[in-house]
Amino acid sequence: MCASAEVPQPDKAALRRALLAVRASLTRDDVLAREAELGRRALELPELADARTVAAYVSIGGEPGTRALLDTLRDRGVRVLLPVLLPDNDLDWGLYRGPEGLVRAGRGLLEPDGERLGPEAVTGADAVLLPGLAVDGRGLRLGRGGGSYDRVLARLDRAGADPARVVLLYDNEVVARVPEEPHDHPVHAVITPAGVRRFG
């Protein structure tokens, strides 16, 4: 009788590097074309289409584009919360009032100007859009490694809040397996230009 071998975990750092290299090869036109499709696909998800409050983020660089979706949600009367990075990498939140209400912040991020609503504001969202680099068939998300959204997901759990947790990715970023750590929280769905996929 032989002992079963553990399935080796992919290396987080190597996976991040590979995915970021693909994103870096995208042109501005590539990003914009996929952004429009992502915005359309996102509204196929009833949890987003029917939401009153959505916690989202402003995409930068080669990230899957969120700006068209932010404007569409706002035009529909949805209250859109955007993150504000705090010095300890936790997130505060502010209201999205349109592109003219965004200001440059550290790390190349764009944040909402105006009133800060506090880190707990996310617990009132009907849906939370999460940035990421990959997601696997279990719904486990690979982020950039800063831990900001791990804190958000833990805060939602502590508050007993259960908004739809959705990650926006490119089609090639839905992978067989991402490395798993005890603090990881699965997402409910992934939206790619090809469509929406739900998890357990």
Annotated binding-site ranges for substrate:
58, 63
Which residues make up each annotated binding site?
Answer: 12-16, 58, 63, 141-149
Helix (H/G/I), strand (E/B), else coil: 16: helix
Evaluate the CA torsion angle 60, 61, 63, 69 in order and state its sign: positive
Beta-strand relationship, 164-168 and 174-175: unpaired
**Which 8-state DSSP code applies to residue 65?**
P
Tokens, residue 90: 């936790």
Structural contact between residues 121 and 93, judged by C-beta atoms closer than 8 angstroms: yes
Q: In this structure, what token pair is assigned to residue 40?
A: 């359309």
The three-class DSSP label of residue 123 is: helix
Binding residues for ATP: 12-16, 141-149
Q: How many CA atoms lie within 13 A of 51 on its CB side?
A: 33
DSSP state of 132: -
Q: What is the CA radius of gyration of the chain?
A: 17
